[in-house]
């Protein structure tokens, strides 16, 4: 009887912890223990009395907040202060910036799939769609990327068109003369233009991202908005924003540009203003900018503004012609000729009302930048990345059928098919992530962790997929000229990888470093409780943390040994139920491992970038898989897209599992690592990369002219006309070869039967005509198709003089 009661106590504890009621489980188990006391023999009574009273004491302490705070929380605060690293003001601002969205669900271990699937993501308005179908298409048709590369700038007609149609004012509200577009419309425009020219895409994305327009819209004074925003919208003012310096790159907060509050002459009057000295570099649009957004550290040594000397990072607007500003030189970022260059300033005096937001926003620049970066980082570079990969899908889907080697289209070769399937899979999930992050911004969120994931992992996806596409195209991909499809996009890859926080830093420090505080359901309040010496806040957060970790410990183990039997997928997802269950299990494993790392390593986790990088991988691939599931759901569960979804899930879950396995193997404490491994991988690892059968399905759909998949995956990019070199010519050849395929079959059949000797296709086609196997019309059609094929596989060449002048 005693054994039964004790087993009931254990079962009650496990069940209640699984349900997230850890303290309730302790109290209930204690009750069972006391009940068992009465069924105890005299020989066991003394030891059992001791255990029962210890359990009762623990139950009382943890159940009564006042006691718990005095006996447990206060001592724990002292320990935690020694363990956790000190946090500077800029770091606090960065951690507080933005908001938590579905990334928080994934971090918690209990993602609410019903909530995600119920979100009604914003669609393009009729006005936005008309802009994409009209001015955006017109602009793309005007752009000649080879011409831009040679002339080292956008042609004047292109600049005029951009300004006239307010491409530089997409984020500026209509009331100030801008277009007032949604995030998804902004992204669609950037994606389409970038597919035509990276230089044009960057030129347009920068004023619509982190810059004066965005900062003025959210923080500017009434006078600043009314003066600048209408002029920025139509290109009368060209903005740039100067943040990066020689000694402050990804660590922008360590900038050395300094402003000192002082008195000086402005327009003939003595006023309180700021004397600035700065040295900025890598500033896009700087060579042609008429108004400079400037970030600097502001000091008030004479306390003209108040009692504080170190006011902090501040942002101001400075007209180009201001005395002391040196501007105009250009950098050459990977040979891409978008305007980019340095800015210097020596003893530049500006009035206080040039601070964005006015004097009251002195020292609030870092907050402004972090808040806007939390949103903008998820739009510009992810859109450019998606455009590059979709161009790869479009080109390789056509090239695989047009290009023949060893007497067959290369689309039949398994090595080509495997690589092409990877490009298609990346295109599917990358666009899903782009849609997801844009939707969050359009919902009013500033999801700093989610947008960091989008920036880092989509630019990495671009790097892999463009390289893969060039590998398939071979020599034609590496010879520059008007016919080259990939060279300029390839040149732009390192730029996307580097800017807005290098991917190395974003992966190893930002995603999990920020996520551990922002996305964790209790960590931020624990840190605030410590910072503010608020015992009640710390106690509530620590209690929640304990309950959270205990719950995920039980769930992780139970899910592992039952295969997720007790996980309930969202309604209407029967065919994807396994995917939802597996991702929930992986999310639970991630949450448990994160808690174990936070407890065992404390503040030293901040320096364990190998570990935090793997956590970033796991969290990011969970977000990517969730985005793909949401896309499949919102697209109406298209059967043709199911292999792409399955490929994404297999590829993503394998990466998640490997990341978690790497963490358990490399925990500084082997006891913690082995314990975590036993809980998370009770039967070892279980996931595999996409199988050959799945790869074959995707390749079939990509290379099949009758399939809609190629069009579905490339709906956001510009398709050039047939008379243009590069992609336009390849598209025309693909259509011609496809149309002539039945005639080619007749010719090939005659060759196999020995009626025609093997030769080049035009020779065999003429022989087939002589034998009456095809008619005149068919002969003309197949010869035209072969001529188009021949043109499409040619590469550019230049005479000595032309080559010497080529850029």
Cβ burial 626-648 (10 Å sphere, 16+ → b, else e):
bbbbbbbbbeeeeeebebbbbbb
Is 500 considered catalytic here?
yes
Strand partners, 297: 258, 313
Q: What are the DSSP calls for 170-188, one per residue?
A: TTS-GGGTS----HHHHHH
Asked if 450 contacts 107 with a C-beta cutoff of 8 angstroms, the reply is no
Q: Which of 188, 460, 500, 716 is catalytic?
A: 500
Cβ proximity of 106 and 622 under 8 Å: yes
| Dihedral, 438, 439, 441, 447 alpha carbons, nearest 10 | -90
Structure-block tokens of residue 525? 């309040």
Q: How many whole angstroms from its chain centre is CA 51? A: 52
- Other CB atoms within a 10 A radius of the CB of residue 577 amount to 14
Q: How many residues does the chain have?
A: 807
Would you tell me how many other CB atoms lie within 10 Å of the CB of residue 532? 10
Give the CA distances from residue 401 to residues 195, 420, 731, in Å, rounded to whole numbers and listed in that order.
22, 12, 11
Residue 637 falls in which region: left (phi positive, over 0), alpha (psi -120 to 50) or beta? left
Are residues 594 and 615 in contact, defined by beta-carbon separation less than 8 angstroms?
yes
C-alpha–C-alpha distance, residues 480 and 724, integer Å = 15
Per the structure block, which two tokens stand in for 503?
């991917």
| CB atoms inside a 10 Å sphere around CB 688 | 11
> CB-based burial of residue 578 (10 Å sphere; 0-12 exposed, 13-18 middle, 19+ buried)?
middle
d(CA 370, CA 214): 12
Q: Which residue has the tokens 């509050």?
A: 261
> Can you list the positions of beta strands (E) in 300-378?
310-319, 325-327, 340-351
Distance (Å, rounded) from C-alpha 752 to C-alpha 560? Answer: 57
* Contact residues for 621 (Cβ-Cβ < 8 A; gap 6+): 457, 652, 653, 655, 656, 659
The distance in angstroms from the start CA to the end CA of the chain is 88
Contact 500, 454 (CB under 8 A): no
How far apart CA 476 and CA 35 sit, in angstroms, is: 81
User: CA of 290: how far to CAs of 237, 287, 711, in Å?
Assistant: 6, 9, 41
Nearest to 604 by CA among 656, 658, 672, 529: 672
Q: Hey, CA dihedral for 209, 210, 211, 217, is it positive or negative?
A: positive
Extract the tokens encoding 126.
């009729």
Transcribe 22-86 into DSSP letters. HHHHHHHHHHHHHHHHTT--HHHHHHHHHHHHHHHHHHHHHHSHHHHIIIIIHHHHHHHHHHSPP
- Catalytic site positions: 500
């Amino acid at each position: 009887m005693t054994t039964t009661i004790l087993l009931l106590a254990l079962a009650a504890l496990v069940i209640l912890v699984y349900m997230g009621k850890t303290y309730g489980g302790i109290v209930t188990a204690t009750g069972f223990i006391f009940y068992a006391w009465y069924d105890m023999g005299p020989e066991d009574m003394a030891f059992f009395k001791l255990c029962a009273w210890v359990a009762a004491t623990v139950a009382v302490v943890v159940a009564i907040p006042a006691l718990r705070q005095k006996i447990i929380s206060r001592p724990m605060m002292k320990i935690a202060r020694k363990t956790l690293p000190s946090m500077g003001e800029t770091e606090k601002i960065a951690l507080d910036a933005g908001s938590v969205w579905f990334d928080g669900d994934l971090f918690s271990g209990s993602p609410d799939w019903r909530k995600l699937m119920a979100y009604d993501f914003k669609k393009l308005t009729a006005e936005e769609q008309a802009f994409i179908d009209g001015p955006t298409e017109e602009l793309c048709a005007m752009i000649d990327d080879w011409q831009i590369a040679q002339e080292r700038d956008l042609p004047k007609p292109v600049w005029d068109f951009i300004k006239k149609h307010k491409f530089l004012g997409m984020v500026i509200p209509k009331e100030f003369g801008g277009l007032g577009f949604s995030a998804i419309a902004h992204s669609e425009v950037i994606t389409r233009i970038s597919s035509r020219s990276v230089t044009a895409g960057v030129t347009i994305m920068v004023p619509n991202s982190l810059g004066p327009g965005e900062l003025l819209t959210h923080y500017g004074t009434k006078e600043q908005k009314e003066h600048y925003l209408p002029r920025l919208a139509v290109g009368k003012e060209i903005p740039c924003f100067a943040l990066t310096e020689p000694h402050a790159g990804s660590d922008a907060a360590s900038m050395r540009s300094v402003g000192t509050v002082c008195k000086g002459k402005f327009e003939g009057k003595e006023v309180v203003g700021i004397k600035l000295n700065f040295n900025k570099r890598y500033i896009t649009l700087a060579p042609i900018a008429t108004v400079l957004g400037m970030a600097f550290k502001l000091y008030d040594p004479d306390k003209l503004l108040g009692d504080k000397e170190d006011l902090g990072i501040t942002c101001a607007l400075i007209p180009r012609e201001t005395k002391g500003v040196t501007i105009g030189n250009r950098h050459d970022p990977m040979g891409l000729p978008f305007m980019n260059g340095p800015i210097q300033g020596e003893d530049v005096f500006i009035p206080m009302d040039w601070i964005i937001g006015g004097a009251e926003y002195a020292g609030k620049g870092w907050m402004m930048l972090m808040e806007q970066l939390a949103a903008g980082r998820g739009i510009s570079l992810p859109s450019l990345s998606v455009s590059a990969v979709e161009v790869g899908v479009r080109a390789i889907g056509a090239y695989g059928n047009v290009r023949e080697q060893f007497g067959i289209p290369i689309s039949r070769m398994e090595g080509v098919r495997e690589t092409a399937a990877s490009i298609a899979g990346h295109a599917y999930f990358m666009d899903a992530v782009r849609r997801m992050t844009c939707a969050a911004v359009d919902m009013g969120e500033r999801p700093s962790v989610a947008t960091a994931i989008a920036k880092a992992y989509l630019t990495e996806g671009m790097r892999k997929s463009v390289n893969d596409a060039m590998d398939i195209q071979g020599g034609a991909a590496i010879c520059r000229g008007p016919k080259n499809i990939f060279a300029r996009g390839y040149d732009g890859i390192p730029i996307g990888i580097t800017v807005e926080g290098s991917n190395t830093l974003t992966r190893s420090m930002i995603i999990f470093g920020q996520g551990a505080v922002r996305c964790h359901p209790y960590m931020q309040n624990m840190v605030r409780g410590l910072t503010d010496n608020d015992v009640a806040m710390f106690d509530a957060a620590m209690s929640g943390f304990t309950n959270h970790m205990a719950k995920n410990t039980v769930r992780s183990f139970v899910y592992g040994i039952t295969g997720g039997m007790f996980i309930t997928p969202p309604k209407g997802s029967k065919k994807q139920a396994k995917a939802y269950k597996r991702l929930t299990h992986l999310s639970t494993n991630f949450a448990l491992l994160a808690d174990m790392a936070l407890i065992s390593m404390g503040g030293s986790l901040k320096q364990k970038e190998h570990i935090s990088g793997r956590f970033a991988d796991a969290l990011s691939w969970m977000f990517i898989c969730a985005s793909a599931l949401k896309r499949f759901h919102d697209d109406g569960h298209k059967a043709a897209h199911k292999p792409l979804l399955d490929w994404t899930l297999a590829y993503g879950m394998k990466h998640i599992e490997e990341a978690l396995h790497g963490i358990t193997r490399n925990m500084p404490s082997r006891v913690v690592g082995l314990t975590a491994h036993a809980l998370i991988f009770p039967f070892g690892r279980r996931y595999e990369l996409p199988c050959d059968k799945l790869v074959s399905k995707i390749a079939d759909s990509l290379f099949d002219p009758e399939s809609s998949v190629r069009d579905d995956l490339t709906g956001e990019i510009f398709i050039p006309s047939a008379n243009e070199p590069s992609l336009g010519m390849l598209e025309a050849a693909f259509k011609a070869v496809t149309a002539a395929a039945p005639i080619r079959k007749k010719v090939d059949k005659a060759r196999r039967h020995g009626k025609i000797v093997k030769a080049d296709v035009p020779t065999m086609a003429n022989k087939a005509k002589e034998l009456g196997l095809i008619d005149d019309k068919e002969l003309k059609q197949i010869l035209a198709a072969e001529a188009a094929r021949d043109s499409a596989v040619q590469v550019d060449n230049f005479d000595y003089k032309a080559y010497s002048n080529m850029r």
